Amino acid sequence: MSKNGVLWYQAATVRIFFPEGRVCCDLCPLMETYARKQCRRTGEYLSQDTRVTVGYECPLEFETEEVNNERESEYEAI
């Protein structure tokens, strides 16, 4: 860091796995459930049924690949 502030940032990525293609906020480690359901990544308060869908502002990019010899489907954030 310089004395005038940060000159640049380093980006990082993380992989999140959902069991058997069940992509939903309830199974995501980024969901906060203390007072209200809220995404820790976007800050979005989740009012829809988080057991079957993802938030409107979900930034996750879903890929098709096999993990443990099981097929995963490709999903897009809603």
Assess whether pLDDT exceeds 60 at residue 76. no
Q: Would 27 be classed as within a structural domain?
A: yes
Q: Would 63 be classed as within a structural domain?
A: yes
Range(s) of the domain holding residue 27: 21-78
Q: Would 16 be classed as within a structural domain?
A: no
Q: Would 6 be classed as within a structural domain?
A: no
Domain count, the chain: 1
Cβ count near 37 (within 10 Å): 17
What is the reported pLDDT for 69? 56
Assess whether pLDDT exceeds 60 at residue 77. no
Contact 40, 33 (CB under 8 A): no
What is the reported pLDDT for 71? 52
Task: Give residue-wise pLDDT tens across range 22-74.
Answer: 999 999 999 998 888 999 999 999 988 888 888 999 999 887 766 665 554 55
Q: Would 76 be classed as within a structural domain?
A: yes
pTM greater than 0.95 (yes/no): no
What is the reported pLDDT for 27? 94
What is the reported pLDDT for 29? 94
Q: State how far Cα 36 lies from the chain centre.
A: 17
